[in-house]
Amino acid sequence: MTLAEILKLAPVIPVMTIEDEAKAVPLARALVAGGLRALEVTLRTPAAMGSIRRIVQEVEGVVVGAGTVTSAAARQAAADAGCQFAVSPGLIEGEGADGPLPLLPGVATPTELMWGLRAGYTHFKLFPADVLGGTALLKAFSGPFPQAIFCPTGGIDATNARDYLALANVVCVGGSWVAPADLVRAGDWGAITALAAEAARF
């Protein structure tokens, strides 16, 4: 699947930071059951890579991405683990749109966007979206950069996701609110499926 196709699977990409590998598969199943098929697992914990491998092997219908990918080596490792996409908080030096797997790079400024477009990217993560100016910034970017499509992430939840999704240059949003740490700790998969189902209808 291309990055464009992956980002169109659902209005929300859950951002999961998994501490306990044993929770990875039930968490992913709960999100997919709610209608969110593209999932991002951040590479911020020792459990991340093992969690990705388990989800890839055991969860039907899922499209797994690695998040917090900040180097070429991490992009390659994500591909080797079976990921179908990678997400970065920024642009990775030397890493263009062509590579071992589709990459959604983060941008925060017009200059970064110009560098990203020159590197062949068409889809960007606006990060951290709320701190940078949220929907007002995305509207401002649509003038000089009509070809850039965004998945804003950072500070987005059920209260403001629709505002972002209403914009013509937003294809989907990312966020951790559909997999809250307390519900994951408690193993309340039903509540997580309900949050995902709500988000899938945005």
Residues annotated as catalytic (active site), given as ranges? 40, 125
126 binds ligand 3PG (CB under 6 A): no
Count of residues that bind ligand 3PG according to CB under 6 A = 10
Burial label for 96, CB within 10 Å (0-12, 13-18, 19+), is middle
**CB neighbours (10 Å) of residue 109?**
11
Q: How far is the CB of 106 from ligand 3PG (least distance, A)?
A: 9
Q: List the x/- string, 177-196, binding to ligand 3PG by CB under 6 A.
A: x-------------------
Q: Among 65, 134, 152, 154, indicate the residue that binds ligand 3PG (CB under 6 A).
A: 154
What three-state secondary structure class fits 79? helix
65 binds ligand 3PG (CB under 6 A): no
Q: How far is the CB of 180 from ligand 3PG (least distance, A)?
A: 10
Q: How big is the CA angle at 50 (ends 47 and 55), to the nearest 5 degrees?
A: 115
175 binds ligand 3PG (CB under 6 A): yes
Q: How far is the CB of 126 from ligand 3PG (least distance, A)?
A: 10
40 residue type, one letter: E
DSSP labels, 29-69: HHHHHTT--EEEEETTSTTHHHHHHHHHHH-TT-EEEEES-
The smaller minimum CB distance to ligand 3PG, of residues 60 and 182, is found at 182
Q: How far is the CB of 157 from ligand 3PG (least distance, A)?
A: 7
102 preceded by a cis bond (ω within 30 of 0) = no
163 residue type, one letter: D
Q: Among 155, 158, 187, 200, indicate the residue that binds ligand 3PG (CB under 6 A).
A: 155
Q: Which residues contact ligand 3PG by CB under 6 A?
A: 15, 127, 153-156, 174-177
